Structure formats: C-alpha cells, structure tokens
Amino acid sequence: MFKIVVPIKQVALLDDEFELEPGASEVDPDWIDRELNDWDTFAVEAAVTFKEEKGDCEVVVITVGDEDSEEALVDCLARGADRAIRIPSDDLPPDPLAVAAALAAAIRPEEPSLVLCGVQSSDAASSATGVALSGYLDLPRVAVVRAIELDPAGGKAKVVRELEDGLLEDVSVSLPSLLTVQTGANEPRYATLRAIKQAADKPLATVAAEELGTDTAALAAQAGATVSQLANRPKGEGAEMLSGDSDEVAAALIEILKERAGVANGGGS
C-alpha cells in the first residue's frame, strides 16, 4: 500500500494586545491563539486527493505538540487522513532540527512512500523542518512545490517547483521522497461538522520519545540554536498615520496621490 505521511503543526498567533516582558525568552501561552498551519492544509489536501483518486493508500498525519495540538490532528482526520500520531512536545524547544529529529524517530518505522510537508509554518517561517527531516530520514526531497504528479509504479514523481520572480521548474524525483508543498497548490477542503464528529473515531496515538528508541533530552540536544532572548521587532521610522474618518483620510490620500503619483484633480477619469 502507498503510504503518505504528512507532518503538521498547530501554529501560534500572538494576540494583538500582546506586550513583551523585558528579558523574556518565551511567550506566555495566555497570549497565544492557535490554528492548523495554513501551508499544512495544502499538504493534507494533496495527500487526501491522491488517496481518493488512486485508492490503496493510507494518509498518516503527525505532529510534535502539546495536548491542544490534537485539535489540529483531528481537523486533518476530518479532512480525510486515516490516522494521527502526536509526539508530546514537553521540554522540546521549538527548533526546526529538534522537531525534525522527533518526527524522524516516529516516521522511520512507518516506512512512508511519500512525506508531504508545508513549505513553512506561518509563525516561525523557518522553511526548514521538512527538509531537515529529509536529512534525518536520508530521503530525496524537493522544496516549494505547487504541483505533484505521482507515478508509484515508475518509482518517481514529477513536480513543479516554484522559484522566485514567477519562475517555475519542472523536476523529476525518485520515490520515496519528501516534498514541501506551497500554498495555492490545490484548494484545501474544510472539515464539515459531521466529518469532525466522525474523525473522533479514527485512531490518534500519543507516542512518547522513549517509545521511539530515543528520549526528549537527546531530541532537544539536536536543536540548531538556543533562543537567548526575545525582542520587539525594531520599527523603522514607520508610517505617517493619516487621522480622521474615512472621508478625511480619502481627501488627504488624494492630495498625496496628486503629488506623488500625478493623479489629476478629481482622479484619472
């Protein structure tokens, strides 16, 4: 059977009112809202679409996270994944290499035919966990793909890489391999309430590092860097804010456009 493993992440969104405490190296969880990473929804959709079209395929979603992140796994199960695995993130730093090492320990025994990751997570934007995982698993990989054509019988996939400046590259890669999927690759479905209810019956296993032949300390030691401190992003000079209601702002805006963009009096029409 063709097996697709999709590592996912429940990302952290900072509350608008958040203020950083001086010297802090992490954010108090009270300030964080969470959701399934946008990029991962495209990876899950690609896996589930392949399963629906070809059959004889299992889709396994996996995350490194706390208990709350099971919500994101259930979301993926409701979108059509078959089973889910959570590796508890207690004492594991949010570092792409440490997380990839934990994922690798759980994915290796699964012997996947294909691993699909999102290109990046919206919070950390490392663009690194997936390709680091391919390094640990010694799998070929292609980063930033927006189209996938699988040929399991031929042992390869034809993919389209999205480069900078609107350039695309067609690439052929041998299977098994790992691909990182870009947004826009497909149209991710939403989980219906009924599907979410049904997803509760699908298998969701919590697997500790020790059950995978390693331990949290060893995985944490894989971290590529140590966060010594968090700081507010330095602001540039910042924008001159136009005040007033929408009509006053519109009037000010038209004056700026006349001066800077040569917009004629009353507009270009």
Partner 1 sequence: MSGVLVVAEHRQGEVRPITYELITAALKLKEDGAGPVAVLVVGGDDSVAGAVGPSGVDAVVTIDSPTAEFEPHLTERAVAAAIEARQPAVVLTGHTVDGFGFAPAVAAANDFGFASNIVAVEANDELTAKRGVYGDRLLAELSFERTPAVLMVRPGASQPADPGGEAPVESLDADLGQSPSEHLAYRSLREGDDEVDITQSEFLLSIGRGIGDEENVERFQELAEKLGATLTASRPLVDAGWLPPARQVGQSGRTVKPKVYLALGISGAIQHLAGIRDAETVIAVNTDPAAPIFDVADYGASLDVHDLAEALEARL
End-to-end CA distance of the chain: 63
- Unique residue bearing structure tokens 């699988």: 150
Q: How many CB atoms lie within 10 A of CB 157?
A: 22
Minimum distance between the CB of residue 81 and partner 1, rounded to whole angstroms? Answer: 22
Q: Which amino acid is at 249?
A: V
Minimum distance between the CB of residue 227 and partner 1, rounded to whole angstroms? Answer: 5
Q: Which stretch binds partner 1 (CB under 8 A): 72-80, 193-201, 202-210, 235-243?
A: 235-243
Minimum distance between the CB of residue 83 and partner 1, rounded to whole angstroms? Answer: 26
Nearer to partner 1, 121 or 216 (CB): 121
Q: Which stretch binds partner 1 (CB under 8 A): 1-9, 70-78, 139-147, 206-214?
A: 139-147
Alpha-carbon distance of 76 to 80, in angstroms, equals 7
Torsion, CA 30, CA 33, CA 35, CA 39, rounded to 10: -110
| Residues 90-109, interacting with partner 1 (CB under 8 A) | 96-97, 100-101
Q: How many CB atoms lie within 10 A of CB 223?
A: 17
For position 224 contacting partner 1 by CB under 8 A, the verdict is yes
Q: Which pair of structure tokens corresponds to residue 168?
A: 């695309």
Using CB under 8 A, pick the residue from 3, 83, 140, 202 that binds partner 1.
140
Q: Which pair of structure tokens corresponds to residue 57?
A: 């395929």
> What Cα–Cα distance (Å) separates residue 14 from each residue in 85, 92, 123, 192, 228?
26, 20, 9, 27, 20
Reference 63, options 40, 91, 29; nearest CA is: 40
Minimum distance between the CB of residue 268 and partner 1, rounded to whole angstroms? Answer: 3
| Residues 60-89, interacting with partner 1 (CB under 8 A) | none
Residue 57 CB-density burial (10 A; 0-12 exposed, 13-18 middle, 19+ buried): buried
For position 174 contacting partner 1 by CB under 8 A, the verdict is yes
Minimum distance between the CB of residue 1 and partner 1, rounded to whole angstroms? Answer: 23
Letters for 177-196 (x = contact with partner 1 by CB under 8 A, - = none) are x--x-xxx------------
For position 164 contacting partner 1 by CB under 8 A, the verdict is yes
For position 167 contacting partner 1 by CB under 8 A, the verdict is yes
Using CB under 8 A, pick the residue from 1, 153, 193, 231 that binds partner 1.
231
For position 247 contacting partner 1 by CB under 8 A, the verdict is yes
Alpha-carbon distance of 86 to 62, in angstroms, equals 6
Using CB under 8 A, pick the residue from 56, 165, 201, 210 that binds partner 1.
165
| Residues 13-52, interacting with partner 1 (CB under 8 A) | 13-14, 16, 18, 20, 27
For position 119 contacting partner 1 by CB under 8 A, the verdict is yes
Q: Which pair of structure tokens corresponds to residue 111?
A: 């012997």
- Unique residue bearing structure tokens 């805006």: 253
For position 133 contacting partner 1 by CB under 8 A, the verdict is yes
